[in-house]
Amino acid sequence: MKRFLALLATCATVLGLTALTGPQAAAAAGCRVDYTVSGQWQGGFQAGVRITNLGAPLSGWTLGFTMPDAGQKVVQGWNATWSQSGATVTAAAADWNRALATGSTVDVGFTGSFTGANPRPTAFTLNGVACTGSVEEPPPAPDDGTPVGINGQLHVCGVNLCNQYGRPVQLRGMSTHGIQWFSRCYNTASLDALAKDWRSDLLRIAMYVQENGYETDPAGFTGRVNSLVDMAEARGMYAVIDFHTLTPGDPNFNLDRAKTFFASVAARNADKKNVIYEIANEPNGVSWAAVKSYAERVIPVIRAADPDAVVIVGTRGWSSLGVSDGSNENEVVDNPVNATNIMYAFHFYAASHKDNYRAAVSRAASRLPLFVSEFGTVSATGGGAVDRASSTAWLDLLDQLKISYANWTYSDADEGSAAFRPGTCGGADYSGSGVLTESGALLKSRISTPDDFPTS
C-alpha cells in the first residue's frame, strides 16, 4: 500500500537505554546550547544537543566544544556532520538545517564512548562565538492543556482508547514519511507548527526497516526515533513509534531486529506517558496466524521494560483486517492476539478503499479496539487526486466511532498524499495556505478543530 521515493537524506542516532536528567550547558549572547545525556550504558552514552540562535540569522553554522575527559569519543552523530580531533569536537550543519533564524533552534546529537569518567562539556561555540546566552523553555506541566497533559497515560478499555480518567478518547494527527528520506521535514519549526497551528494530538514516526532504513544503521535510526519522541513530548503530543515493515511483508523476517529495536526504545522511553508502539506497519502476503505469532513474541519484549504503554498490532492485507486479501475482521475476532492493552491497525487510502472497507470498520469497531495508524486521501499508491468525498466519509466515520488516526504524510514528498508542496521542508512556514497541498489543507482543517477530551 506504500510508495517509495529514491531520495537521499541523512538520519541517524543512537541507542538510549535510560533517561538521565542533568543541568543544561550554558550557551551564548549569540547562542545557547542545551546538552542532555539521554542514555548511558557500560562504556557508552547518548547525548542530545539543542542549539538556539540568539543572534543574527545564520546561513550556515558549526558547533564546537571540547570533551572534558580524554577517554570521551564521538562514535556516531546525527543531524550534522560530526568530527573529532583530540578532545575537540565539531558538528557542521547538514544541507537541510543550514539556515538558523534568530530565535530558532536545531536539535543534533551523537553516541559516544568513554573509558574513565563521563563529565559533560560546559563550553560551546557557534561559528567561533562562545555560547553564553539563556532562554527559559520549561517542559510542559501536567495540566498544560496539551493532549498528553490532559489525557496522561493511555490504555485500552473495552474497544476504546481511554485516557487517565478511564474515558474514551480519539487522537488525531499526522505520520512522518520515511525518516531516512525526509529528515529535513522534522525540525523545531515543523513540530511547533504541528502542535500549535495544526493542534495535532500525535506524531507517528515512520521508521522503515528495509528501504535504506533501520537495517542499514540500527543505532542511528534508534537514536533518531528517540529524538523525535522527545520532540513530541516537549510539545505535549503522543508519539507512535512505527516499526515500518513493508517489504518483505512477513513481519517474522524482521523478528530479531524488532526484538532488538523494541527492547531499546521501550527501556529508554518507559517512563514517558506519550509513547505508543506500532510493532508491524503493513503485513502483506502472509497469514493472520503468522502475524499473530510475531506479535506474541514481540509484545513481551516491550512489556518487560514498559508494562503500561499501548501496543498497535498490524493486521493482514496491508493492515486492512484482511479485507484487501478477501477476508474480513472475523479472523482477528476469532483468533485474537494473546496480550492485553493492545489495539489493531487499520489502514486505508480513500480513493482506493471505499464502502466495503468502511463497512468492515463499522462492524469491527464494536468487537475490536481499532487504531487507524495510517491513511491517505488519495489512491493506495500514495499519488493521484484527493478523493474529498471518500476522505470526508472516512473521517466522519472515524469521528463517530472515536477511532484515532494518523494521516500519511507530514512531508513535502512529490506525491498527492503529502501535506506540503515540494520544497516546503527546511523553511519556516508549515501552516500557511501557500505551502499546503489539497490533502494538507483538508487534514489541517479537520485536525485543528478543538478536541473534546473528557476529564471526569
CA dihedral 179, 291, 355, 418 (to 10 degrees): 0
Query: Catalytic pick from 233, 282, 329, 415?
Result: 282
Q: What grid cell was written down for 27?
A: 550557551
Within 13 Å of residue 173, how many CA atoms lie on the same side as its CB?
25
Measured CA to CA, the distance from residue 400 to residue 100 in angstroms comes to 43
Measured CA to CA, the distance from residue 163 to residue 153 in angstroms comes to 6
Give DSSP secondary structure letters for 220-257.
Answer: HHHHHHHHHHHHHHHTT-EEEEEEE--SSS-GGGGHHH
Q: Burial level of 402, CB count in 10 A (0-12/13-18/19+)?
A: middle
Q: Which residues of 154-181 are buried (b: 16+ CB within 10 A; e: fewer)?
A: bbbeebbbbbeeeeebbbbbbbbbbbbb
The question of whether 211 is a catalytic residue gets the answer: no
Task: Tell me which H or E stretch contains 439.
Answer: helix 438-447
Measured CA to CA, the distance from residue 332 to residue 316 in angstroms comes to 9
The question of whether 215 is a catalytic residue gets the answer: no
Provide the 3-class DSSP secondary structure of residue 331: helix
Provide the 3-class DSSP secondary structure of residue 388: helix
Does the CA dihedral 395-284-259-308 come out positive or negative? Answer: positive
Q: What grid cell was written down for 417?
A: 498524499
Give which of 426, 431, 374 is closest to 195, Cα–Cα: 431
Q: What is the 3-state secondary structure (H, E, C) of 261-323?
A: HHHHHHHHHCCCCCEEEECCCCCCCCCHHHHHHHHHHHHHHHHHHCCCCCEEECCHHHHCCCH
- Strand partners for 47: 37, 110
Q: Which residue has the cell 476522505?
A: 391
Query: Catalytic pick from 233, 329, 331, 374?
Result: 374
Q: Which residues are annotated as catalytic?
A: 282, 374
